Amino acid sequence: MTPWCTNYNKAFPMLHTFERDGDAIYRQSFAIIRSEAALSRFSPIEERVVVRMIHAAGMVGLEQHVAFTPGMAEVARAALQAGAPVLCDARMVSEGITRKRLPANNEIICTLQDAQVAELARQMGTTRSAAALELWRPRLAGAVVAIGNAPTALFHLLNMLQDPACPRPAAVIGCPVGFVGAAESKAALMATPGLSALVVHGRLGGSAITAAAINALASEKEI
């Protein structure tokens, strides 16, 4: 029997024509972004990160809200190349990371679904997203943190780091999205001394944008 899919073009008229080459779609998309977005204030490595974030959001203009601490992109890339784990606040972030782009088969960790988290959140009187970060402590030193969903997670991380005994990550991508606490948590991150950080200021953000930033930092190859 001939597979149905091999007869597709013969069986149905081509009502819609479209670009089918995935790499070509990426190249065209990135070229359009670079022609339309205001990217001149970014370093070359930062520009690649911002272009991929804009692509994930489908929003030229996002670059106006993106901020890096000095050298953050270089620090995060070096950490990934050295094998640092990526700690994610939500499965939407962890699942958006392209594993084949990671330079050192880096471990991707999301503790939100851990069986301990619900009871831990109840005891702490906080959200599950915040409580889940307590399980990061053994892996936090030198890690790359990717928070794209929960402002409570970012606030809790900053509170954890007030303790000098708490291990410090190499870099933090803080792009939680929302109307309650999102803008404030990102402003607090950028005001924290000694942290390498990337944010999308204001209410904008999200898991796709955050994963895109990791994907860009993980490899110099754009496609």
Confidence of residue 22 (pLDDT cuts 50, 70, 90): confident
Confidence of residue 52 (pLDDT cuts 50, 70, 90): very high
Q: What is the DSSP string of 140-201?
A: -TTPEEEE-S-HHHHHHHHHHTTSTTS---SEEEE---SSSSHHHHHHHHHTSTT--EEEE-
pLDDT at 11: 64
Among 13-17, 21-25, 91-95, 119-123, the minimum mean pLDDT is found in 13-17
pLDDT at 12: 67
What is the residue type of 99?
Answer: R
Instruction: Say which of 55, 65, 156, 201 is annotated catalytic.
Output: 55
pLDDT at 8: 56
Average pLDDT over residues 204-222: 96
Alpha helices in 37-181 (DSSP H): 44-57, 72-81, 91-96, 117-124, 128-131, 151-160
Domains, the chain, ranges and CATH?
A: 65-218 (3.40.50.10230)
Average pLDDT over residues 61-67: 98
Between the alpha carbon of residue 175 and those of residues 17, 69, 188, 190, 193, the distances in Å are 36, 14, 12, 11, 18
Q: Give pLDDT tens digits for 102-126.
A: 999 999 999 999 999 999 999 999 9
Average pLDDT over residues 60-79: 98
* Burial label, 58 (beta-carbon count in 10 A; 0-12, 13-18, 19+): exposed
Q: Is the pLDDT of residue 3 over 80?
A: no
Average pLDDT over residues 189-197: 97
Q: Confirm whether 55 is a catalytic residue.
A: yes
Q: Is the pLDDT of residue 4 over 70?
A: no
Average pLDDT over residues 142-160: 98
**Residue with more model confidence, 198 or 19:** 198
CB 158 within 8 A of CB 188: yes
Confidence of residue 153 (pLDDT cuts 50, 70, 90): very high
**Structure token digits, residue 202:** 């204001």
pLDDT at 82: 98
